[in-house]
Structures are given as C-alpha cells and as structure tokens.
Structure 1
Amino acid sequence: MASVSFFLPSMKNLLVFIFFCVYVESSDHKKTNDGVVINVTKHFFFPDFNTPRTVHDLMLLGSSVVDKTGRIQIPDTTQNDVDLKHLVGRAVYAYPVRVFDPITRTPASFQTTFSFQIETTRTNLSFADRNVSGDGNDGGDGGSGFTFIIAPDEFTVGRPGPWLGMLNDACDEQYKTVGIEFDTIENAKFGDPNDNHLGINLGSIVSTITINVSEFGINLKDGEIHRAWIDYHGQNHFLEIRLGSDRLDYPSKAVFSGRLDISDFLKEYMFVGFSASTGNFTQIHNVLSWNFTSSSQASLRVPSPETCESKIIIDDGNGGGGRGGNNLNSFFIFMTVVFLVVVALVSLYYNRKRITGEKARELAMLSAVKERPRPPNKPRRFTISEVSAATRCFDELHKVTCDERSDTYRGTLLNGCHVAVKRFSVEYFKSHGINRRRVGKEIKAMSKLRHPNLVAIRGWCFDHQETMVVYDYVQNGTFHDWLYGIGVLPWSRRLKVVRDVAQALSYLHSQKLAHKNVNTSSVFIDVSFRALLGDFGFVMSGTESSRFEATVSQPTDVFAFGVLVLEVVAGRKRYRSESDPESNRSDLDLLEWAWSMHEMNEKEKVVDVKIGSVLNMDQAVRVMDIGLLCTLKENQGRPSMAEVVEYVCFETEVPELPLRRPMALFPYTSTTALCTNSYMCASFK
C-alpha cells in the first residue's frame, strides 16, 4: 500500500503535466494566462456594540469590555475595586482583513469612521510624583490615549503607559503594526508636540508624523464624543484624516492629508481594531460606533478567453508550411501520453495485487484508531511531523530562546492554537547521561496539572531521539523582558507577580513535584498581567536518585524563589556584568549585598530607586525580608512555599531574620558533590 500511496500523487502530477503540455501546444506557445484582476472587499458596521453578533465579530483582549450601554471600554471599569492604573486592552475585529497584495506589493484602500470619547479621571499624584512616574507620563491629567491599530495577530497585547498597548518587549522586528494614535500625554522621549495630538505610527511607538489637533479647535480630553474619518488610497499611497465633533457635520478640512507608504509594515492579512492603555494617570477610552470598508486587488486565475475556433486553421495548401512541424510535435506528445498512461495502469495493478485482505483490514483499523476523537484540551503525544509543521520545520524566525539544554520555538497547531515548543538537545542528553525515559515520565506527570498560575502543557513528543514539550503560548512574553526591558515596572505589578509565582510553586509542591528552574525567564505574563510559571526544569542527571530529587528539589525551589524576590525588589539581576553601567561594584552578588544591607539596617537601599515615590516602601522591605528568609539554610529557618504564600499575601507576620548572615548560608557539604545540574546546586552555593 505504501507504494500505491506514493504512486497516486505521481499520477495526479502526471495528469497535470499532460494537461499543461496539451495546453501549451493548443496555445501555439504564444500566450499565457496572466489572470484577471479582481477587487477583494470587506465591510462591517457597528452602530453600537450591544448586538448579538458582537460576541462573534469582536475580540476583547486584556482590560477591555463592552459595557451595558453598548460601548467598547478600555480599561474595564465594570469590576469593583480595580486599580485603573497601568492597564492595557485591545478590541479587534475577530476576522483577518486583506490589507496588502504581495504580488503587486500594493496596500489595500480602506475607509473607516468611528466615534469615541475619552473620559479623564484625576489622580492625587503630586507634581513631583509625575516627574518620577517612570511610565513616560510627564504631567497633566489622564492616561495615555488610544489607537486605531492594524496588527498582525489577534492575541498580542502591548505594554501599558505611553506604549498605548501597541507593542511590548516580546515583539520583535517581525511584528509590524500601523497605528493612528489619539494621544493625551506629552512625552518628550517620543517627540510629542503636546498633550493633545494625533500621531501616525509605523512599526514603532515613536510617531512618524504628529499633528497638534489643538490648532483645529479640538480637545481630546474635553469629555465630548468625537468622530474620526480615516481614508487611505492604496495605489496612490495617500492618507487623509479628519477629526471633529460627533454632533457636527463632516469636517471641511483634514487634520492630515498627504502621501504615506505603509507597504513595508503590512502583511497580506492583518487585524484591525483599537488599543488603549493607562499609566500613572488614568482615562476611560470609549468607542461608541465603528464603520470599516476595505478594498484590495488580487489576481484570479481563470481559463483563457480564447476559443477553440480561433485555433482552427483550414489547410487549403496555401501558407501551410509551418503546420508540419506542429503536427509532428502533436504526434510525439500523443505517443508520450499513451506510453505514460499504460505504465501507470500496469504499476497500479501490480501494487494493488500485493495487498492481501488481512493487511487491508489492519490498515482500516489503524485509520480508525488515528481518527478516534480526543477531548479538546487533554494533553497528548504529538508526532514529529505535527510539531515540525507547527514550527515551520523549526524555522529560525520562529525561535524564541535557546541555551545549551534546549531551543524554544513558537508555532501554530493545525487547529489554530498557538503553542511554544521546547526542543531538548540530543547532544546535551548524551553528554550528561540524561535518562530520557525518566524525563518523559516527569513531563507526563506535569502535563496533568492545571492551575491559574501555571503554563499548561499541551503535549509532548518522543520521536526519533527527540524530546520536546508543547506548552500553551503566553502572548506577553517573559517577566524578565518586563522587569529589565524599556520603562519601569510599578511596584503593584511586581508584588502581583511575586504572589502569583508563590501560589504556583505552593501548588506544585502540594502535588509532590518541583519546578527546578525558577527564575525571571521562566515566569510568563498573560494579557491580564497575570504571572504564569512555566519552562519546567525537567532535565535531571541519571545519577540522581528519586529520593535525592524529592529531598532537594522543593527546598531549592524556595531558595530560587527568594533570589527572584530580591531581583524583583532591587530591579536588577543577581550577578551584574562588568559592562553594566549602573553598577560601581560589578562583582557584587545581589544576595550578599542584600544580607549586608540587612545587617546594617539599611534595606531601603536595595529597593529599586527607579520606581519613584509611588512605591510602598513598607511593603517592599517586607517582601525583601521574605526573599532573605527563603535563602536561609533549611535547618536555620527556610520556610515551605505554603508558608511563603501566607507571608507574601500579608496574612501572617514574617519571622524575624537573624541579625547577621548565618556563616553556613552557603556551606560546602557532601551533598554538593552529587549536584551535576547547575540549578540544583544553587541552594548550596
């Protein structure tokens, strides 16, 4: 049957080839079909967002909601006791729109109009607080504004503050966006003219073009309902934007009108919608109605309009000198076709004859097993071909991270689910004597776990010496990117991450399991800024017994969590490189420094000064104490993760730390010699 399966596609290709030969001959090698240019149009209209189809046609991400009055609202104010600072959300049309023709490299033409309202809420920050806010808000009332966005996907949400939800640190140069921002904050770093302007952003948060809308008598923060008209002509690369009150007629004068080529920032299909954010100042961004129409050109392949009649030439003996060669060519093509068809039929007959009835039944049974339905979210084993297809044959452009142990790729399964694939190095396994069977058992055990603060394992692959784990893809990247990226992460967000990670580890330990890879890069941030612990440390040396693992792994998780807490409080990595411009003592270990400051009763010096005066210093010092407590030796007071959860949630008082760093904090014991995994030794150094 294998040979038959191989042969059938060949037959199909053969028939295509025959048709092509006959077609070329019939057209006399003079003309080809270049296709017909057609218009691909898309239109949708939301007079409000309170209709039943809104649920299917609108995708809400992050802190966004459709309120009771039928408005898109970013951030979501329907939840009680929610801090509206540093929130971000998106609302996009749920289906991709064709915005670019890759053959002619022509952008689509589109017209859109929408009514919006920006409700400004005042804060009690002083002027000094505004200058040290760290989110780019230099002063004035309100949040950061909102954006009409053309984005390459429907699941990424950008950073809060002046990033307007357009981009985040996980977005690379392949993530292309086009945005028209309605900005209500003056940020000198981004070249803003004032706190009442419109910007055109091409692949960057820094606007390519800015327009001071105050010159047109428009105040975006006056609480009025405004309407924007955006008209882009793709073939001429011409953009026109009009802005005015929703109560008045179509504005006679455009706020911007000129040539603008957006081709380099478009893919063939993209998603259109709105994104908005808040920083240390808050706003409520409402979209009340939306009308969108796009039109793009595409080439449609159709049969030739030429008729058979036009090819009939009556041979009357005159001017027929060229037909003899054509007749000869037709004869050779006909004989070739007959020969290939005979060969194909003979081969097909003998291949079918080889298959017995019993083998046919076995193949049918195998097909039935393969087609057996599975629960939609139940972890399963993937084949190497499925994983390869999801990651485009492990394309370098899909690679997210890499280290000596593994490479991680982002991918998309056939059902449309976005995943992250961790592919362990075969050479690393061999050189370190890793027991693949044991790793496989641990992966399967972890895949059964479900917790709000754990990245779900969707499946695994153990084919052809390959060992891979398939995780759910978390859109907003790692906490490492947020903590050490552009801008300053506010204290409230840092504290939330610490609590989420503590909850995840406590749950893992309650299941008699351990993470074994706790660090800022193994913590991921979802669109609601919830921290999810992933990238489990499955790799263990075959020389380590299960008893040793159970004894060491969980306390090591606690130690690593303590180091992570100190990094969160200090806003710096444990070890600074010599090239770090912020360090005068580049060789100083953060853990040693934190203990030194504790001994000198100057723990406030460890706290990240970039957070500014919006920091709750008492909370920061208390969390730092929890981090130091977790780095104590086990017999000197290192807590369990269940106890840590009570501490970080401020439900229980933190035990008093020793006045001086214990001398045996980093002992060299006989146990250390057994540590072949560098992470496992972390708690003994």
Structure 2
Amino acid sequence: MFHLLISIILSSTILAQSSHNHHKPGPEITLKKSLSFPTFGPNNINQDITLLGSAAIPPQAGCIQIPEPENPHSSAGRAIYASPVRLFDPSSRLPASFETTFSFRIWGGPDDSGPTSGGLSFVIAPDELTTGRPGPWLGMLNDACEDDLKVVAVELDTRMNPEFGDPSDNHVGVNLGSIVSAASANASSAFGVRLNDGELHWASIAYDGTNKSLSIFIGPGFSVEKARPEARPENGVRFDNIDLSPYLNEYMFIGFSGSTGDDNHPQIHSVCSWNFTSATRARLRVPSPESCASKIMVGDDGNIPSKTPSSFYIFVAVVALVLMIMISLFFNRKKRESYEFSDEMAVVGMEKKRPVPPNRAWKFSLAEIYSATRRFGESQVLGSDRNSVTYKGSLLNGSNVVVKRFSMEAVIPVRRRMMEEVKTIGKIRHPNIVPVRGWCFDNQETIVLYEYVGNGSLDKWLFGFGVVPWTRRFKVVKDTAEGLAYLHSKGLAHKNVKASSVFIDVSFRALLGDFGFVLSLGEASARFEAMVSQKVDIFEFGVMMMEVVSGRGRETGLLDLAWALHESGEKAKLVDRSLNPDQAVRVMDVGLMCTLNENRGRPSMEEVVGYLNSERPLPDLPTTRPVSLFPYSSTTGLCSGYSCGSFK
C-alpha cells in the first residue's frame, strides 16, 4: 500500500508541476525499420516468423509454403513477421513510407494440369493471431463484411471472381480492408508474366506515405541485382490516391497470406526471399527549457518573497488526495476481508496496458472483463452449462476472446487448485491447443479467457452444418490427438474431451480448448485426480472418434452400439455413408481401443498418434466387449464411478 501511495504522490506532483510548463513539441525525426530474409529455414519459425493455418517452412525447401503440399485443398495460411512494425504516426496522422521486395513461385502442386485456384498476398494486419478464410478470400479476411480486423493487402490473384470485381485470372490488386480491390491491374499486360506459371518471379511494392501513391512491379526470374531499386524497369504500375491511414494502427504486423479453393487443382504458393524497409515520422520528447533556478526568486534582503509558492498548493492537493485514498483503501480492505484468496484480488478499474497483441497469458482486472463483454451482456453469451456461462469478448487491442465465467458455487471447493492449474495451462502453446489468453480471480469472480476461434466447435459441424468430408474429419481427429498427446507429455490433462471442446479454425485445423480444470472431478482428492485424469482423457477421446466416424452424438448410446457392431463384425454399419469406409473403420478401431481397460490394452495418447499416422501396427481388439467396461455418462461428463474401466 505504501508503494502505491508513493507512486500516486509522485504522479500527482509531476502532474501539478506539468500544468505550469508548456512543452513545445520536440524535433521531428524519422524512424526506420528494415528486415531481410535471403532464405527461410526452420530457425526462422517462432523466432522471426509466425506461421498460422496451413503455412509451413519445410526443412529442405528454403521457402515459406502456403499451403503445405500434403493438404492443399481448401486451405488458408499466413506467415507473419513476429514483431510489430511502426507504420503510422498518430500525431501527424501520416502513414509510413515503405518498400518490400520478395521472390515467389506459384505452382499447381503435385497435379499441375488444368486450371488452378488460389492466390498469394502481401498483408499488413493488426495482429499476428488471425488467419483469413480459404478460397477467394486469399487468407486475408475472415468474412467479406468483417469490421473489427481490417487488413491492407496487395494480392497476386490467379482466379477471376466476378463477384469481387476481379479483372482477370492473372491480376494484382490493392485491398483496403475489403476483399474487393480498391485498384487492380492485369499482370499479363502490365508486367508480361503469368503469376502461376511455376517459375520463380520477384515483386516490388513501394508506398509513398506523403503522396499516398503505391507502385508495384513484378518481373520474371530473380537475382539480387534485379531487385535493386536502380535496376528496376520503369514500366511498373502506379496507383494514386491510396490512403492507408484509416486502416492502420500505430503498430502493425507484416507478412504473407495465401489460400486455395476446394477444386481439383489447388496451387502452392512459395515465398523464397523477402526484404522490407519502412520510414515513419515521429517527434522526440524533449525536456522543458525552464530550469529550477528560474523558479527561485530571492529578494534583495536574501529572504524568500512573501508570495505563496505554487509548491504549497501542490503540497495541499497531494495531502488531500492521500487522505481520500487512505479512506478509500480502508473501506475496500474491509470489503475484501470477507472473501477468500485476497492475495489474488485485483483493484477493479486499475487497467494495465497490454502488449498488442499479448504473447502470453495475463491477469485481467474485472473492469477489463466488463468492458470486453459489455458488462456480461446477454447479446455476448455463447453458451452455458451447470458450472459456467461463456461470453464473446473484445479486448482493447481489437482481438476477440472467449470469456468463461464460473459460478461461485462450483469453484469454492477447488478454487486455489484451479487457480494454479489455469496459470499452468496458460503457459502451454501448441498449434492444436486453444491458447489461454488470461484469467481473472477478482473478488468473487473466477474467469478464464481463451483465444476466440471463429469457426465454432466440432459438434456444430458434425451435427448442424451438414456433410463434412472424410478428409476433414480425419484431419480433426489427428489434430486433436496431437494436442492431447502434447498435454499428456507435459504431465497435464484436459479433463473435458468432447466434440464441443474441439474448435475449428478457418483452415479447418482442430484446436482443443475449454479445459475441464479441476471441476470435472468435483470434490475428488488430488491424488485420485492425478491418477485418472489422463486415462479419462483417452477414454473420452475414443468416444469422440466414434462420434466423428458415425456423425452421431454420444448421448444416443453410441459406445454400446459400436461394441455391439464390433462383436457382430458389422462395424461398417456405424460409418457415416459419406465417408471412406476402410479408413473410417480403422479410426473406429482406435476409438474402441481407447475405451478398453487400462490393463487390457488401452493405449497412451502417444501410441494413439502413432496408430492414426500409420506409424504403428494396430493391435487386435478383443472379440467381445470387456465385462468391466463401464458405460459413459453424458450427464456427468465422466465414466460411471469415475473409472472408465481403468481400475475394475
């Protein structure tokens, strides 16, 4: 408390003194930023380049690839420079001037016959956490009408979409917060190149922030000499009146996005080298020209003049402020003493400035949660269960989050253990796990914030959106297994594995979220929880695999039916008619294996990943259902007696 009082006194004194000083703006300077990637390799991942969606840097390729060749259909991805770049000066309202050159290759993948679909774009985005939609959106936007995450892009588009005003299937376009280009040009007539001819090309994009003009040049072949400014031909394309100011924050993220459609000839986009330089205006903050000596007035007799100095008024103001604060703290302390875990309470309203975007989980104040969820407004509710209500929220930096607010009755018995577990899970980062963005243990509130995944949960896709192709279902199963295996390798458990806890991003990548924490096991002892949590995860994952294969919910007696069909040799009857029966039956076998007793063949999640990737031979299942296999309870979220057949 004393540290807080001292900080407030100093701040108040400085504020009062500053009211007498009229600082003139400092001299204008130019801030420059440059980066260079002659090639790309595994060392760039995470350190310099953030890969999202289907973007990858294969070890031997030396290039960013969007999408990965192994999964080219209906994919979207981004490769973003990991640190934000200053591209806008708030004081002058001027955008930065910048220039970027990069070499690229667009080719038709393993089967390059016939027309291809997709496109590559250089993007300027407000965060490094969002991937746009596949197909004609080129990975730039999540939705054509989206307002909260505007992106500036220069697109290299190889498909003509008349609904977006595309001039041809071989064009460049300038996109300002919209999928419809503000300006465009035919690449064949402007540059004499075919963008997706499979050859290595180079592109130069230069923007003049003062004159609001943007120039683009694309040339065949690539060499360092060709990319030098003095060596570039004059026949580039220049677009005037391109004002980026309305679409820029002070700091933005730069990189590349790409996507493919769901047709028979998707294409691969490679970026093999990249240079970027920018220059933006800024003003230095300089000290006041006044000095302390100029404030000291000594009379001829050596006495201080009788005029009351301004410092006296400052002193009186600070004393009054301190008294008010002490009274307020006294009453707040009395109020807090009625709650448990007072060491975790945050002062409501004391908002901390977050890095934009945050790169780790944070402790949020209740005031920030109120602001993000519109005071827990009904319009923000995403869902609820017996222990919690889930809301959609928007943080001050513009990013969306999922806010899960637990009821006090559910949390009281396990709150301290839950706090520790939330913070531990908050440190986990994996491509197939929804990141925990933060938490709030404020007064009586227990709240967990997750990153928002816009495509919803798996159960909505399986049971509400119509037919989901087998390739996507199988990818979801493998993605979820990878995430769960990673958690188990860290000695952690999910404790809430089900279709509604698996979320789908715009590239149809599956992310495991909505952790059960300690609530799943209620008042069970810590020892019992540690003993069964991972085993329960495996059992629940097995049931979820059968949901994916059959398209049926677990509440329909799915596990009993699956074992009955296995005993009669008719497992194919459970497979959704739209799926690949052979591969789906193998996944079903792995799912049944996950529901075996632990001492009778239940695999670890590491083994499950090996089975799904065909890296391990699949053991034979017992011909009949084990007698000690207990039925799954859809009401409790656990197996009967919390056992799942592990200890019977």
Task: State the TM bucket, normalised to the shorter chain.
Answer: 0.5 to 0.7
In 2 relative to 1, CA 332–163 (structure 1 residues): closer, same or farther, beyond 3 Å?
Answer: farther
Residue correspondence of structure 1 range 36-47 to structure 2 within 5 A:
38-44=28-34, 46=36
Letter in 1 for 2:502: V
Residue correspondence of structure 1 range 209-608 to structure 2 within 5 A:
209-216=183-190, 217-235=192-210, 237-245=212-220, 250-255=232-237, 257-278=239-260, 281-296=266-281, 298=282, 334-335=308-309, 337-338=311-312, 340-341=314-315, 383-385=344-346, 389=352, 390=362, 393=365, 394-395=368-369, 403-404=384-385, 405=388, 407=390, 424-429=405-410, 434-437=413-416, 439=418, 464-467=443-446, 480=458, 491-492=470-471, 494-502=473-481, 515-523=494-502, 533-537=512-516, 538-540=518-520, 557=537, 560-562=540-542, 564-569=544-549, 574=553, 607=576
Which stretches in structure 2 are left out of the alignment for 5+ residues? Answer: 292-304, 323-341, 353-361, 374-379
Deviations along 1:605-642, one digit per CA (max 9) or x if unpaired, are 96485xxxxx7552134335655x4898989x996666
Report the alpha carbon displacement of residue 140 of structure 1 after superposing the two structures with TM: 1.0
Cross-structure match for 1:99: 87
Contact conserved, 1:90 with 1:273, CA < 8 A, in 2?
yes
Report the alpha carbon displacement of residue 535 of structure 1 after superposing the two structures with TM: 2.9
Q: What is the alpha-carbon distance in structure 2 between the residues aligned to residue 220 and residue 474 of structure 1?
A: 35
In 2 relative to 1, CA 221–33 (structure 1 residues): closer, same or farther, beyond 3 Å?
Answer: same
CA radius of gyration, larger in: 1
In 2 relative to 1, CA 215–429 (structure 1 residues): closer, same or farther, beyond 3 Å?
Answer: same
Q: What is the alpha-carbon distance in structure 2 between the residues aligned to residue 198 and residue 88 of structure 1?
A: 19
In 2 relative to 1, CA 122–556 (structure 1 residues): closer, same or farther, beyond 3 Å?
Answer: closer
Report the alpha carbon displacement of residue 148 of structure 1 after superposing the two structures with TM: 0.8
Report the alpha carbon displacement of residue 214 of structure 1 after superposing the two structures with TM: 2.6
Cross-structure match for 1:20: 19
Q: What is the alpha-carbon distance in structure 2 between the residues aligned to residue 101 and residue 656 of structure 1?
A: 69
Letter in 2 for 1:539: L
Q: What is the alpha-carbon distance in structure 2 between the residues aligned to residue 347 and residue 111 of structure 1?
A: 48
Contact conserved, 1:426 with 1:465, CA < 8 A, in 2?
no
Task: Say yes or no: does 1:120 pair with 2:99.
Answer: no
Contact conserved, 1:184 with 1:195, CA < 8 A, in 2?
yes
Letter in 1 for 2:95: A
Which stretches in structure 1 are left out of the alignment for 5+ residues? Answer: 24-31, 127-138, 308-330, 349-380, 576-586, 610-614
Q: What RMSD over aligned residues (CA atoms) do the two structures have, in Å?
A: 6.1
- Secondary structure of the 1:14 match is helix
Contact conserved, 1:198 with 1:212, CA < 8 A, in 2?
yes
Report the alpha carbon displacement of residue 270 of structure 1 after superposing the two structures with TM: 0.5
Q: What is the alpha-carbon distance in structure 1 between the residues aligned to residue 168 and residue 439 of structure 2?
A: 52
In 2 relative to 1, CA 241–100 (structure 1 residues): closer, same or farther, beyond 3 Å?
Answer: same
When the two structures are aligned, how many residues end up with a matched partner?
566
Report the alpha carbon displacement of residue 421 of structure 1 after superposing the two structures with TM: 8.8
Q: What is the alpha-carbon distance in structure 2 between the residues aligned to residue 110 and residue 486 of structure 1?
A: 45
- Secondary structure of the 1:274 match is strand
Q: What is the alpha-carbon distance in structure 2 between the residues aligned to residue 682 and residue 183 of structure 1?
A: 57
In 2 relative to 1, CA 605–75 (structure 1 residues): closer, same or farther, beyond 3 Å?
Answer: same
Task: Say yes or no: does 1:108 pair with 2:95.
Answer: yes
Deviations along 1:92-144, one digit per CA (max 9) or x if unpaired, are 4444222223355x341424241423142454499xxxxxxxxxxxx614x62
Residue correspondence of structure 1 range 57-72 to structure 2 within 5 A:
58-62=48-52, 63-65=55-57, 72=63
Task: Say yes or no: does 1:74 pair with 2:65.
Answer: yes
Q: What is the alpha-carbon distance in structure 1 between the residues aligned to residue 371 and residue 115 of structure 2?
A: 42
Contact conserved, 2:134 with 2:507, CA < 8 A, in 1?
no
In 2 relative to 1, CA 244–462 (structure 1 residues): closer, same or farther, beyond 3 Å?
Answer: closer
In 2 relative to 1, CA 206–632 (structure 1 residues): closer, same or farther, beyond 3 Å?
Answer: farther
Letter in 2 for 1:518: V
Deviations along 1:409-437, one digit per CA (max 9) or x if unpaired, are 8999xxx9x9989654244527xx75435
Letter in 2 for 1:147: S
In 2 relative to 1, CA 95–531 (structure 1 residues): closer, same or farther, beyond 3 Å?
Answer: same
Q: What is the alpha-carbon distance in structure 1 between the residues aligned to residue 479 and residue 58 of structure 2?
A: 28
Cross-structure match for 1:48: 38
In 2 relative to 1, CA 101–342 (structure 1 residues): closer, same or farther, beyond 3 Å?
Answer: closer
- Secondary structure of the 1:114 match is strand
In 2 relative to 1, CA 302–569 (structure 1 residues): closer, same or farther, beyond 3 Å?
Answer: same
Task: Say yes or no: does 1:150 pair with 2:124.
Answer: yes
Contact conserved, 1:647 with 1:654, CA < 8 A, in 2?
no
Q: What is the alpha-carbon distance in structure 1 between the residues aligned to residue 289 and residue 453 of structure 2?
A: 49
Task: Say yes or no: does 1:9 pair with 2:16.
Answer: no
In 2 relative to 1, CA 553–186 (structure 1 residues): closer, same or farther, beyond 3 Å?
Answer: same
Report the alpha carbon displacement of residue 242 of structure 1 after superposing the two structures with TM: 3.6
Cross-structure match for 2:25: 35
Deviations along 1:484-534, one digit per CA (max 9) or x if unpaired, are 899997644542431343466578789998633113453367999875544
Cross-structure match for 1:623: 587
Q: What is the alpha-carbon distance in structure 1 between the residues aligned to residue 135 and residue 321 of structure 2?
A: 68
